Chain A
Amino acid sequence: MNNQEAVFEKLNLVYDPELDKSVLEMKFIEEVDIHQDTVTVVMRLPTFWCSPNFAFIMAEDIRNRVMELPWVSKVLLNLKDHCSSEEINKGVSEGKSFEEVFSNLANGDLNEVRKTFQIKSFKSRQEHLLRELINFGVDKELLNLTIKDLNSHLAIRDKTVLLRYLTLRSELGFSNHPNDLAFLKHTGERIDPLKLSEHLLEARRTRLSMDFNANHCLGLLETRYQTQISEEEKENKYESCSTTCVQHAIAF
C-alpha cells in the first residue's frame, strides 16, 4: 500500500456523525496532497451553512486518523466554501478544541454530541444486521446469536456492515468476545424477544432519518459541485455500505 492509499484507508474510518456514512462515501474529500511528512486534506460540504459542529467533528477526526500513520507529522485541513472555513481550518490544523475555536458561540463540549450520534449509529447498524438475518429466515435463535455466530453466518454477506457494528460496539464500551451476545440494547440490557418488533421499528426510524439525510446531502453536494454519479452506483451506495464503495473511494 502506498502513502496515498494509506491516507484514504484512514479517511474511510471518519464518519459524518449525523449520517453514519464515511467522508469518502459522502464525497466530502476533494483532494489529498502529500509532501513528505505533511498531509493536506481538502474537504467540501453540501452547503455553505452545514452545521459547524459536525464539520468540526469530521475535521478533527480526519486529523487524528491521518496522524495515526507513523510517517505523518503534520495534517493541514482545508475545508472550502463554508461559513466557518477559516475558524475550522485554523483550529484543527493547530490542534485546538471546538470550545477554544468557538468559545463565544458554543456551550457544552462536543463529546455529548458525539455520544448521541454513536448511539444512533449503533441502533442503525444493528437494525441492518437484524433485518438481514430475519430476511434469511433466522427466527427463534436470533437474539441468542453470539459474535462468533455472526462472524461465520451465511446471512451476513457484507462483512463491512458487521465490522462497522463491532467497531461501534467496542467504542461504546461493549466487549467483542466471541461468546458475547451479538445483539443488546445500547444500554447493555438484553432485547426482550416479545418486544423485538417494537425494537426494530424504533431502530428503523433512526436508520431512516440518517439515510434520508444522507440522500439529501449527497444530492445537494452533487448539485453544488457537479459530482455526478451513475444510478447504478447510487443504488450500491445506499443498499449497503459495501466494500465496492470503499474500493471505489480509494481509487478515485
Chain B
Amino acid sequence: MFKTSNGEEIFVIDGHIAMWDGSPENQLNRHGEEFISCFYDYHKNLSPKEYLWDYEKFRKYTPEDLVKDVIVDGYVDMAIFQPVFLTEFYKKPFGDIEVNAQLVKKHPERFISNGSFDPRDGERGLVYLEYLKETHNIQGIKLYTADWRGASKGYKLTDDWSQRYLEKCLELGIKNIHVHKGPTITPLNRDAFDVADIDQAASLNPDLNFIVEHCGLPRLEDFCWIATQEKNVYAGLSVVMPFIHSRPRYFAEIMSELLYWLDEDRIIFGSDYGIWEPKWLIEKFMAFEFPDDIKQETGTDLTLSIKKKILGENIARLYGIDIEKQKSLLWNNKKASIKV
C-alpha cells in the first residue's frame, strides 16, 4: 500500500519480479557469469546510489530479502513472478518456478507464480504446460524469445510451434502472455530489432492478453503502432521505470507516448526486482509530474487516477484480482500481515 500525502491509500501490484540464482555455483558456463554481470551493469547504471547492492547479494538473494524489499519496504501488496529459465547458462533454472512456488505457498495472498515455455521443446513442452497448470495453477506465462537452445539463438511468436503453444495456453485457461521485448541482444538479424511478431500473435489469439515487457524498447514507435491496432496488447513498464531517476525527461516522453497511443488502461507497472527495488521506483513515480511542454504537445497527463490504474488496477483486471476484497484481506487482517 502506498499512502499519498493527503492520506489516500493506493493498492499496488508489481507485475514483474524475479527470484533468481546467478551464483557461481549455479553457473553452467561463462555465459552464466556474463548474463548476471550484464544485469548487474543495468542495476549499477540506473539505481540511485543508496539502493546499490553488492554483487554477492545481486547474484543470489534470499526469499527473505525479496519479501522485505518488495512487500515490507516496497509498498507492494501483491507481486507476480516472471521466471526466465536460461537452461543453457545455468544448472538449475535461473528463475526457478519450483522456488517461486515455495514463496507462493507461504504467502498465497501476496504472490502469483507465472510459468514459461519454449516452443522449441515440441510435444514434451506441451505436456510440461499441462503440468504447470495442474501443479501450480498458473494464469500467466513469461516468454524470453532470445533464449538460447543449442545452435538456435532464439525463436519467434510467429513460428508454427509458438502458435500451437499459445493455443494450448488458451485451452488451459492461461491467458496472460508476458513477452520480453527489450533492449537488443541476440539472436541475429532475424529477430534482433523488432517487436513485429507480437502483431500476428495478438491478431491470431484475440482471447489472450499480450503484455510486452519493456515496451519493445528501443523500438518504441514500432510497439506503439502494434498496440494501437491490437487491443489485447499491453505495455509492461519494467526497465522503463528506473529511467525516472536517471533520465526523468525521457521517462516523461515515453509515458506520454504510451498514454497517447495506448490509453491509460493498458499500461502496467513492473519493478523488475531484483534489478531494481520497487520502493524508490514507486516513491518517485507517485511524485512525478509531466513537464508542461510535454502535456501540451501530446495532450496527456499523468494524473493520480492514471497512476492508480498503472500501479494496480489494470493488471488486477487481467489476473481477476478483486482489489476491494484483497484490501480487506491484506490491510485489515492481521494474519496476512508479513513480518520479517
Contacts and interface: CB of A to CB of B under 8 A. Distances in A.
A163 interface: no
Contacts of A4: none
Interface in A119-170: none
Contact of A205 (B151, B184, B193, B224): B224
Interface residues of B, number: 37
A89 interface: no
A3 interface: no
Contacts of A201: 297-298
Nearest to B216: A209
A106 B187 CA distance: 9
B134 interface: no
Q: What size tier do the contact residues of chain A reach?
A: 35 or more
Contacts of B153: 105
Contact of A48 (B38, B190, B219, B247): B38
B259 interface: no
Contacts of A223: 41, 44-45
Contacts of A205: 220-221, 224, 257
Main secondary structure on B side of the interface with A: helix
A56 to B, nearest CB: 9
B246 to A, nearest CB: 7
A51 B45 CA distance: 20
A31 interface: no
Interface in B226-271: 243, 246-247, 250, 253-254, 257
B186 A83 contact: yes
B185 to A, nearest CB: 4
A216 B190 contact: no
A202 B220 CA distance: 11
B192 A208 contact: no
A47 B221 contact: no
Given A208-B250, A209-B218, A212-B250, A51 B185 contact: yes
Contacts of A104: 151
A220 B46 CA distance: 9
B185 A47 contact: yes
A-B pairs with lowest CB-CB distance, top 3: A213-B218, A49-B185, A53-B189
6 contacts: A53-B192, A108-B189, A205-B224, A208-B221, A208-B254, A223-B41
Interface of B: 31, 34-35, 37-38, 41-42, 44-46, 151, 153, 183-190, 192-193, 217-221, 224, 243, 246-247, 250, 253-254, 257, 297-298
Given A48-B35, A116-B193, 7 more contacts: A18-B184, A51-B188, A201-B298, A209-B219, A210-B218, A220-B41, A222-B45
